[in-house]
Structure 1
Amino acid sequence: MLRRSENEIKIVLTRPLSLNGELEADYKAPNLIHRILSLFKNVRPGSDLTHFKLPPQFNVPKSHLQCYGETVYCNGSDMLRRCNQANNSLDRFMSVVAWSISTLRPLMFGVAPYNPILGETHHVSRATLNVLLEQISHHPPVSALHATDEEHDIELVWCHQCVPNFNGAWVETEVRGKRQLKLLSRGETYEMNSPNLLIKFLPLAGVDWTGNVTISCKENGLEAELRYGPKSFFGLRGSHRSVKGKVYETATKRTLFQLNGHWDRTVTAKDNNSGKSRVIYNADEVFSGLKTPVVNDLKGVRPTESAAVWSELSEAIMSQNWEKAKEAKNAVEGKQREVLRERELKGTPWVPQHFSVTYTKDGGWECSPIQQWVPPAPIVLPLS
């Protein structure tokens, strides 16, 4: 935790989400299932939950923007850089598939990150990789990400809109929008979507990523289909966090590899020609030795930085001072409503600072970064 000066906002950074749920254990509210069901007692199945507000007892001390960013800059091995290293296009594609799997994080039942305010940003560097996120819409909630590694000719552009719906015994959040991974020196763009987040209350409580993900690259004519499976009705471990799928040629639909495994353990690829299998993803590499970001340049931290916007709330949650946490959360949300009212009175539209936005015919969002390269960040991830 850092202060700019006695009269300015604190900067509070917390350790990343881990595979074993240590963060969730620190902040989980008591009598969890009873408390959660009481929150939804007046919510009807099929309801839009984008306006739903969680009390701070159900928050982990970080924003959704920080969680998105962590999936890119915070891992034990640099799988992103590997995507551009292989000279063979098929090997590069398989590396991208493995990297895509590595971006999943085990969100925990009963706790959730903060909903970012409009204009909130998160800017972190890991070595030569610079990552910048911005909340470009509050209702509906839409987040944009731009990451570049100029030294290794890699660029990421994401645009995410989360649409949660309550179905009585569960909440399923559809993550709309696409992710682009560009290997600039190879002239290849890989497009992919995200799985949905399923939060089940009954009969067995839990959180899982579920649904289908497609990864495609027009330049090398390859595609992958991944199916993420939730825990079964009876909670059998074999189905929990499962990944199944295939890699095939776009033009001929000929399957090259069969994929099978679990994103919290290992995923193997079986060559359809030789019958041989190899491990393409190992969760131990991704989640081992995770570091907490640190402030490297205090003066360079934006007032819109997530770690600054939510610092009072994060500090209160970490000390389990729930009265202070409630006040801090109300203060942030109240200020946002006030700024919105002023903007509406003046007739001033909101314009994102780091992205240009277009709207698709089906009501979706597309984001383009304004800058070619993301500059180095004042917050960095230690490498050792």
Structure 2
Amino acid sequence: MVTIIKDEKKIFLSRPHSINGDSEVDSPKSIQRISSLFKNIKPGFDLTNFKLPPLFNLPKSHLQCYGETVYCMGTDMLSRCNQADSPVDRFISVVAWNISTLRPPIFGFAPYNPILGETHHVSRANLNVLLEQISHHPPVSALHATDEKQKIQLIRCQLCVPKFNGIAVVNEVRGKRQLKLLSRGETYEMNSPDLLIRILPTPGVDWDGDVRIRCPENGLEAELHYGHKSFLGLRGSHRSVKGKILETSTKRTLFEFNGNWDRTVTMKDNASRKLTVIYNAEEVYSGLKTPIVNDLQGVLSTESAAVWSELSEALMRHDWEKANEAKNAVEEKQRELLRERESKGETWVPQHFTLTRNKDGVWDCLPIHQWVPPAPIIVPLS
């Protein structure tokens, strides 16, 4: 936990999740208390605008959690994608990097819902990461990360749609992700698994579903399936991932992989039958550093660590009355800004992205600038 106060500007930064889902929070809440949140909610209800009491919040915003999947790594998996010599090796590296972006959720806790226009700007070495909440209803988040030295660009547009089905919350993660290796002339497109939060009969939380990665330039694609234990906890493999890499044109399977995204994933070469470990979670999660403020004056008022600093501090002190006051203060300020815009007939416009929606209702975003500038908040390398 890092708190900085200067000239009435307060910044609160908490450590990233570890491989076991550890965070600066207490043990998970009781199943009875969690179940009470849903006692008046009917199956099929859209929970997008559901307000969670501070008791169930992590001391960070969703934007910070999204950003951590990119800038908090024990091993630089992203650079490996660009450094591999052959198209096949680069594709394998992209698959491994994609697996590394998953973080162990904590049952009974959730990050804050970002406010409209909230930003999160962090750098790790040459990698600069910028996120912005570009829509509030529905909640759409945009991410742009660049490494100008290696000519790497990552663009992500994400909309989470949580629904309660009576015994679980299925959080469907919509949106497109693009990883561009500009010096290689390659663009990798991929989606995200969904987040499954089981309430009954066996509580738990898992990433679940199918992910497809494709690169038109090298003619390869991958199919990944993330699995979980059954609702009774008797079948299935906890945090499992399996899949294959194949040629797009012939659909011939080149490699198959299997394992657990919180442990290791092994790949089999179908031609040579050779087995190789392509992903080791210990390497990815080891030695994760808490971000620090490098330039306080450069921190925007919209920065997540500033917007939610009062609430995060109250949560860490278990001061629930102060936490409720802090959360209500942030929300009331947003309502005031909305009323002001409506009275002036103004429409809010994102500062760092353009936002579009096609005829099928799919949201997409593009960064306004090609490169993300260095951030005032950095991740220490040692």
Question: What corresponds to 1:165 in structure 2?
Answer: 163
Aligned to 2:11: 11
The residue that corresponds to 1:373 in the other structure is 371
In structure 2, distance between residues paired with 1:51 and 1:128: 37
Structure 1 unaligned regions, length at least 5: none
The CA deviation string for residues 17-52 of structure 1, in whole angstroms up to 9 with x for no partner, is: 11113216x33465x211111111111110111110
Conserved 8 A contact 1:136-1:143: yes
The CA distance in 1 between the partners of 2:243 and 2:42, in whole Å, is 35
Does the C-alpha gap of structure 1 residues 87 and 124 become closer, same or farther in structure 2, counting only changes over 3 Å? same
Amino acid at match of 1:328: A
- Tell me if the contact between 2:228 and 2:236 (Cα under 8 Å) persists in the aligned partners: no
> What is the CA-CA distance between 1:347 and the residue it aligns to?
1.4
Aligned 1:94-105 pairs, distance under 5 A: 94-105=92-103
Contact 2:28 2:107 in 1 (8 A): no
Counterpart Cα distance in 1 of 2:131 and 2:233:
36
- After TM superposition, the structure 1 = structure 2 runs for residues 233-382 of structure 1, keeping only pairs within 5 Å, are 233-235=231-233, 239-382=237-380
**How many residue pairs end up in the alignment?**
380
Out of 141, 144, 148, the position equivalent to 1:143 is 141
Counterpart of 1:41 in structure 2 is: 39
**What are the superposed Cα offsets for residues 153-203 of structure 1, whole Å, 9 maximum, x if unpaired?**
100000000000000100001110010000000000000000000000111
Could you tell me how far 1:87 is from its partner in structure 2?
Answer: 1.3
Give the Å deviation of 1:309.
0.1
Q: Give the whole-Å Cα distance in 2 for the aligned partners of 1:262 and 1:76.
A: 18
Distance 2:104 2:9 in 1: 30
What corresponds to 1:153 in structure 2? Answer: 151
**Partner of 1:285: helix, strand, or coil?**
helix
Corresponding position of 2:26: 27
The 2-side partners of 1:234 and 1:276 are apart by: 36
The equivalent residue for 1:107 is 105
Q: Report the Cα offset of residue 367 of structure 1.
A: 0.5
Which letter maps to 2:113?
A: N
Between the aligned partners of 2:230 and 2:380, the Cα distance in structure 1 is: 38
1:53 aligned to which of 30, 38, 51: 51
Cα separation, 1, equivalents of 2:270 and 2:320: 56
Question: Which amino acid counterpart does residue 27 of structure 1 have in structure 2?
Answer: D
Residue aligned with 2:13, SS: coil
Give the deviation of 1:209 after TM superposition: 0.3
Shift of 1:338: 1.3
Q: In the alignment, residue 6 of structure 2 is paired with which amino acid?
A: R
Aligned mates of 1:326, 1:129 — CA distance in 2: 36
1:2 lines up with 2:1 in the alignment: no
Percent identity between the two aligned chains: 73
Consecutive unaligned residues in structure 2, runs of 5 or more: none
Cα pair 2:227 2:240 within 8 Å, conserved: yes
Counterpart of 2:26 in structure 1: which amino acid?
A: Y
Please report the RMSD computed on the Cα atoms of aligned residues, expressed in angstroms: 1.1
Matched residue type, 2:305: A
- Number of the residue aligned with 2:184: 186
Which shows bigger deviation, 329-338 or 290-299?
Answer: 329-338
Query: For the Cα contact (< 8 Å) 2:4–2:10, is it kept in 1?
Result: yes
Counterpart residue identity of residue 3, structure 1: I
Please give the TM-score of this superposition, normalised by the length of structure 2: 0.98
